A = this chain, B = another copy of it.
């Protein structure tokens, strides 16, 4: 089970946008800043816009900004925007197939799916409990100031 690499890029870009405090940054600037393939990063940033995490402004002074305060953007918001909202564990109800399906398995919910989804919920809750502002605040102010200076 692997998250797409876009999640790491999206999280770092969100921290940078938070530090830029409303000043737009282009996809090309961010791609150069992190040495990432521009088309790939553009797609990741578009996913953040589609999910209401970032805002894109067109034109000469255009670029990406966070769509709301970084304090109210959780890591889960960013992960969901890039990875989608589907559960990692997909129950295909194989217990209802083949001979198994004839044995009355349908009579109750599947304990396996229930346990797997319950565990996944703890993960989602942990990601919901941490915001982009939280992780940004854990990074040294020197890095923050030099990042802003490099991109403005």
Interface residues of A (CB under 8 A from B): 1-5, 7-9, 11-12, 15, 32-36, 75, 79, 83, 86, 88-92, 94-95, 97-101, 103-105, 107-108, 111-116, 118-120, 122-123, 125-127, 130, 134-136, 138-140, 142-143, 146-147, 150
Contacts and interface: CB of A to CB of B under 8 A. Distances in A.
A123 B125 CA distance: 10
A135 B111 contact: yes
Nearest to A84: B1
Q: Which of A1, A5, A8, A104 lies at the interface centre, i.e. has the most chain B CB atoms within 10 A of its CB?
A: A1
A146 to B, nearest CB: 4
A119 B75 contact: yes
